[in-house]
Structure 1
Amino acid sequence: MNDEGDLRYKMLVLNELYFVRSNAARIESVAKKLYEQKINQKSGEVTKDHNLFLTLNFKRLEKLCEDFFVSDGACHSQ
């Protein structure tokens, strides 16, 4: 492997980690707001909010996850 490339990649990852840690509170706040907006979005509602449009259906994903754990017989807690 190219040591220079490895070092550049390592620096990129470290810079990204620093950014995330430095902005953790803001990232969490925005994520919670987006989650609430998506959860409260009416089924079939059309939105002009690009981020809301691109966001997965959390209710459906949570239901699929719940069904998987119930059918698998796995014990889970939150």
Structure 2
Amino acid sequence: MAKDIEASIIGMIATAGEIDASEISRETELSELEIDSLVLTEIVMDIEDEHDIEIDLNTAEAWESLKTVGDIVDVVKNLVAAKT
């Protein structure tokens, strides 16, 4: 399941950013992907819908904590685990 979440998120980022998924890993910095904040917000909303979770990004600190793809994956995995 954990790998499925990671693959799903990488797929969503790749699609939204029009990037080859093979170029994205957990270590990939979001700033390297040249995805603007609006697109990133849409990606987060898609992730929330797919995994039936809510990612709290209502503060600047929350956004600043997401530096890499792995940061997003970890947040989602923790929220999914807490839900079950």
TM-score, normalised on structure 1?
Answer: 0.26
- Larger relative contact order (C-alpha < 8 A, sep ≥ 6)? 2
Rg bigger for which structure?
1
